[in-house]
Amino acid sequence: MPIAKQRIAPCLWFDTQAEDAAMFYISVFENSRIKRISRYGRAGREVHGKEAGSVMVVDFEIDGQSFLALNGGPHFKFTEAVSFQVFCDSQDEIDYFWSKLSEGGREGQCGWLKDKFGLSWQVVPAALPQIMADAEGAKTDRLMNAVMAMKKFDLDALRRAAAGAA
């Protein structure tokens, strides 16, 4: 039986930091690896402007999810319009990923952060979507007030807000 192939994989555009970024991401997430590194040749230099032998793309996996990091030049930058969600089962996981991914970057509101490469991440309690789906009326308001007041998520505080406890 053939192994299922991932149909869609994100391609992350960097100026020159593709290899550094891929190495950083695989250091943060378990079960991650560099699959292959491809380098620029002499052909096309008038278009891409990269030196022959410099890193063109890094094909890597984060916990089994395929990614491609491309050194495409300074033309494009990451924005908050695209982010990656990291669903965490415990406060320890939230704390770990928040600390690692925000190091050298910027903390945002509601579980959002930018890493040192400018890529946006959401470090989210895995239970939050269900807690939010079960919320109605005053419970929704309590949860939204709690979420909006947080940078890094506090799982116990979210559960207390959902339960109506202080």
Domains, the chain, with CATH or none:
9-76 (3.10.180.10), 78-166 (3.10.180.10)
Chain-centroid distance, C-alpha 154: 19
Q: Which pLDDT belongs to residue 3?
A: 56
**pTM metric for this prediction:** 0.90
User: Among candidates 111, 107, 114, 115, which has minimal Cα distance to 132?
Assistant: 111
Which amino acid does the sequence have at 147?
Answer: V
Query: Could you read off the pLDDT tens digit of each residue along the chain, which spans 166 residues?
Result: 455 578 899 999 999 999 999 999 999 999 999 999 999 998 888 888 889 999 999 999 999 999 999 999 999 999 999 999 999 999 999 999 999 999 999 999 999 999 999 999 999 999 998 888 877 778 888 899 999 999 999 999 998 998 887 6
Phi and psi, residue 7, nearest 5°: -80, -35
